[in-house]
Structure 1
C-alpha cells in the first residue's frame, strides 16, 4: 500500500514496477493516455521513510521503483506489464544497464492475487518465447509500502531534460542492441 493514497477510486488501479533508475521509468508510462500519475519512490525494504542516500547505499533493502495509477477503462494491468518488459532487461538480476546493485534490480510488485497471476503468466510467456538467450530474472514480489522519493526525483525528465535525454538515449541504445541480438538469434534458428 502506498503512503500517499488510501483507497483507489472506481476505475483506477495501481501497478508498481522496479527497473533500474526510476528517472528512466517515469516518462515511458506518464506520457501515455489513461495514466493518471506516476510517482518515483522506494519499496520492498525493511525501513520506514528511506532516503535516496540510504537506498542507494544499500542499507534498507529497498529498490527504486515507480507507482503507476492508471485508468482501468484505458489500460489493463496485463498491458502495463507488457510495456514494462519493453523498458527493462529482464535477464539482469543485478541492476539495469549502467545502474548496478540490488537497489536497481528488476521487480514487478503485485498488489493482489490477480496481479500475481498476470505477472507470472507474462513472465512465463516471455521465457518460452525464446527472445532471450539467458533466463528471465525479473522477480515478482508482493507489494509493500511504497515510499515516495524526494521531490528532486519526481518527474526528473521534465526538470532535467538534457541529463534525462542522455540517460534515455543510453538505455534505448542498450535495449535496441539487445533486441537486434534477439532477432539475429531467431533468424539463425530458422
Structure 2
C-alpha cells in the first residue's frame, strides 16, 4: 500500500478504472508483467475516507474502482484501456453483472488530458466496432481523490480463492453472453 502514496517514479503512471465490484478487477491486471501495484478503493464521491458500508449504501457518491500503477516501458495507457473493455459490460450504466447500483457504474477516471484523449478515442472505436447492439455508456471522468479500501478487500482473489473463482466464472459467462447478444 505504501506505493499507492508514493510519487510515481520514472516510467510509472496510474490508471483508475471502475467496472463493478473491485474484487473482480484486481487479478486480471495484477498478474501481468509490468503492473507494479493494483489497489482496490473508492473514487468520485463527496465524503473523505469513505467506508465500504457507506459506499455500497449509496451515501457517498463513490464507485468501487481499482488504481493501477504500471510501468510505461512495458504497458501503455491505451493497452490498459483495451484490457478494461474486455473485463466490463460497457453497455450497462447501472452496474456490472450481479453488482447493481451507483457504486458499481463503469467509469474510466482520467488523470490528465492525454489519458482523456486515449480513453475517449478508445470508447469511440469500441462504439464503431459494432461489438455491441446497445450504446457504449461507460463514462470518462476526471480522477478525484482515490481512497484505498479496507484491507479485507485488497487482493481478494488471493484471500478467498474459492469465492473469487465462482465470481470470476460468473462474470466471464455473463460477458460472453453479452457479446453474443449482438448477433440476435
Please confirm whether the aligned pair reaches a TM-score higher than 0.5, indicating the same fold. yes
Moved more, 4-13 or 26-35: 4-13
Does the aligned pair in 1 maintain the 2:22–2:65 contact within 8 Å? yes
TM-score of the two chains, using structure 1 as the length reference: 0.93
Question: What does residue 93 of structure 2 align with?
Answer: 93
Cα deviation for residue 181 of structure 1 reads 2.8
Q: Deviations over 1:91-132 (max 9, x none)?
A: 000000000000000000000000000000000000011111
- Alignment pair present for 1:36 and 2:36: yes
Within 1, Cα distance between the matches of 2:18 and 2:44? Answer: 10
Q: Deviations over 1:129-163 (max 9, x none)?
A: 11111110000000000000000000000000000
Question: What does residue 12 of structure 2 align with?
Answer: 12
Within 1, Cα distance between the matches of 2:125 and 2:173? Answer: 25
Question: What does residue 188 of structure 1 align with?
Answer: none
Cα deviation for residue 176 of structure 1 reads 1.3
What is the count of residue pairs matched by the alignment?
182
What does residue range 74-89 of structure 1 map to in structure 2 within 5 Å? Answer: 74-89=74-89
The runs of 5 or more residues in structure 2 that have no matched partner are none
Within 1, Cα distance between the matches of 2:114 and 2:150? Answer: 31
Moved more, 173-182 or 83-92: 173-182
Matched residue SS, 1:17: strand
Q: Deviations over 1:166-187 (max 9, x none)?
A: 10000000011122333x35xx
Within 1, Cα distance between the matches of 2:139 and 2:45? Answer: 14
Within 1, Cα distance between the matches of 2:56 and 2:84? Answer: 22
Matched residue SS, 1:92: coil
TM-score of the two chains, using structure 2 as the length reference: 0.96
Q: CA RMSD in A?
A: 1.1
Matched residue SS, 2:40: strand
Does the aligned pair in 1 maintain the 2:133–2:181 contact within 8 Å? no
